[in-house]
Structure 1
């Protein structure tokens, strides 16, 4: 009979090795060694009557599991950190041990017990600076907005202002109580919580959907008042509050383009977009225009361009941070001979719940759009376009409407957090939490929709070659025979629609010609 070989972890030998590896450069090795050691220790404990195991050994197992969670958090490996925290809590419960206060709080937040976690935090438990920082990340990731707001505020007031934690504070507020965001930003300015160095965070929050465009404009105006000597802030505040160009709708299409060109030529010649914008409009001015350009639709959820008899149809879905000024895009649609329908989601839910003005559900909005498309006549080809979050909507509605073609510009292909976690996409978490509360999983993943519909249109997926997350989302659909990936060489930005517009490529893309995407040198947008 072969005698069973047992292994017992000797932590005094292992712990120094793990500690030595716990530098930023060697964290993955430290995690691998600690995880393997914990698995061996757990296997040995399962072979033992726990009642005969010294408390010190059980306590050590809990503490080392907590250490593993901290190492995962240092690498921002949030799913692994969550799993490890749950393992520490489960082991402690099974063996009658207690966990550290920060692990207990993390467990509450992972279970979405935001109110309970917030109440404990208001009693100001003793937490180290690193525990405060870890808990803030966990709170925002888990959707515990109230607790996250308390934690982020405490980090900023006790450890000094940083862009990372002011961004987390805004995300937590967007999850907890988005209607109070602007008043709280104003209070932050009055209290000195937000410094001049933190002002760019407000712009980033707008791009990621944590605050609305209106909130962004008002907050930027407040920041510009606080620091009038900051020329960049002043320019941004002016641009955000400026009304759109009032295009005349009683003149010929070519005259409208000339009006746009004259306006562009009044830009500062030193502006980075001056040359590319005027060159693009000069090309349009020389093009045949099939109809007039749309007047500014303002805040309308749905707007229709003037009609081109016999023209194909373009549906355009706005992204979270797009300004809604449609003149440039619609001028190109007019030059391409397209009837355009412009859509904007006031709820900022990736259009997954449809539009309030079209019934307030995804199904009713699809039916409403199908009826509108039918009004253009039989046999019209339908192209669906969107950028960023609008790119996701373009994919979703393109599948459900049975469109001929979808152009997704740096659009995500999923809004399921478990899929996003696999590519380490931590963006728009406030929006994702709202999506989870108000939409179905099927509406939040394009592959699921394609499988359910049994149909996939032609997919043109355009993204910056050097933008890791946009590339990863496109590659999630790369195996579909209908999908063609169009990486823009050398480009690492997310604002792909601005890149195509300013480099004179969007008109060709609307016409179905994708060959020019890599023909010009990429510039950061």
Structure 2
């Protein structure tokens, strides 16, 4: 990537983001504004998409300020350890290119973000780049097959074994060993098992989250009614925009939430009849994405049932 004319780049649009064949895109630059580096998630059937572009554009409208955006994807689905066209052939090379890009943009602060495979990259590069903060949805904490088997973590063993057979020139296979510095980690994860027949008591993402939290300067956001796809859960429950506004721009906006449905009203009534604690019922409704006001109202009127 050519760094020198970065401040002259035109703004991105949906068409460019969705049709580009590149691995990295840079939006119009405004020096002194926040920079978000967004890493795309895995896709086995098609080329991975760029991620979070639409959400960041919406956040610009909400906050009234420009957000510098660098969109990155790993077309080889190698957890950002192999070639990222335009940036580098391995993590150290890619990190060096991103450092040069950050220097050219001259942002007020740097935030990395991603989900799943992109979350691993957000943590890895966030720490390597000494970013101000990392927002990671459901990240792995390691890419080591032997360690994965100890934890019954078999979801992406093939990727781990491929990297071990043919390692890149540099690699980071246990994120918990990376120097933390002053980077603030925000780890968001589901705790509900993804499979109905799962033998694990919680989603394995919870284990990875706690490994990353062990070194400090980390905030955990567990979602008990989500599996691995925690971003989709937050979208479905209409909480994603308020969350990103707070973590990226420091802006507090009201969560959209959902109105309590008749089915849930019946659930509230039944639990109250059985002696359920009203405060706990409100909290459970909120975890499912219902607004606080509608949750409290449903519980206050006994679920609307007689």
TM bin (shorter chain)? 0.5 to 0.7
Match of 2:77 in 1: 348
2:90 is the alignment partner of 1:361: yes
2:216 is the alignment partner of 1:481: yes
2:188 is the alignment partner of 1:457: no
> Which structure carries more helix by proportion?
1
2:137 is the alignment partner of 1:409: yes
Deviation at 1:521, TM superposition (A): 3.9
Cα distance in 2 for partners of 1:326, 1:442 equals: 25
Cα distance in 1 for partners of 2:219, 2:230 equals: 16
2:22 is the alignment partner of 1:300: yes
Deviation at 1:472, TM superposition (A): 1.1
Structure 2 residue ranges without an equivalent (≥5)? 1-9, 194-202, 258-282, 290-306
Cα distance in 1 for partners of 2:247, 2:189 equals: 16
Q: What aligned pairs does 1:308-387 form with structure 2 within 5 A after superposition?
A: 308-321=30-43, 323-324=49-50, 327-335=53-61, 336=63, 337-353=66-82, 355-377=84-106, 380-387=108-115
Match of 1:166 in 2: none
**Kept after mapping to 2: 8 A contact 1:354/1:364:** no
* 1:501 paired residue among 228, 235, 241: 235
**Kept after mapping to 1: 8 A contact 2:176/2:215:** no
Deviation at 1:299, TM superposition (A): 2.9
Deviation at 1:374, TM superposition (A): 1.5
- The number of residue pairs the alignment matches comes to 229
* 1:520 paired residue among 258, 261, 286: 286
Cα distance in 2 for partners of 1:292, 1:347 equals: 24
* 2:205 paired residue among 447, 470, 492: 470
Distance 1:391 1:366, change over 3 A: same
Distance 1:363 1:513, change over 3 A: closer
**Kept after mapping to 2: 8 A contact 1:314/1:340:** yes
> Which structure carries more strand by proportion?
2
More RCO (CA 8 Å, sep 6+):
2
**TM-score normalised by L of structure 1:** 0.40
**TM-score normalised by L of structure 2:** 0.66
Q: C-alpha deviations, 1:336-390, integer Å up to 9, x for none? A: 5321111011221111235232231222211111111112226x21110010011
Cα distance in 2 for partners of 1:325, 1:480 equals: 28
Q: C-alpha deviations, 1:219-270, integer Å up to 9, x for none? A: xxxxxxxxxxxxxxxxxxxxxxxxxxxxxxx9xxxxxxxxxxxxxxxxxxxx
Distance 1:508 1:361, change over 3 A: same
Structure 1 residue ranges without an equivalent (≥5)? 1-249, 251-290
Q: Which has the larger radius of gyration?
A: 1
Deviation at 1:438, TM superposition (A): 2.2
Deviation at 1:448, TM superposition (A): 2.0
Q: What aligned pairs does 1:200-279 form with structure 2 within 5 A after superposition?
A: none
After TM superposition, the runs of 4+ consecutive aligned structure 1 residues lying more than 6 A away are: 514-519
Deviation at 1:330, TM superposition (A): 3.6
Distance 1:363 1:440, change over 3 A: closer
Cα distance in 2 for partners of 1:327, 1:398 equals: 18
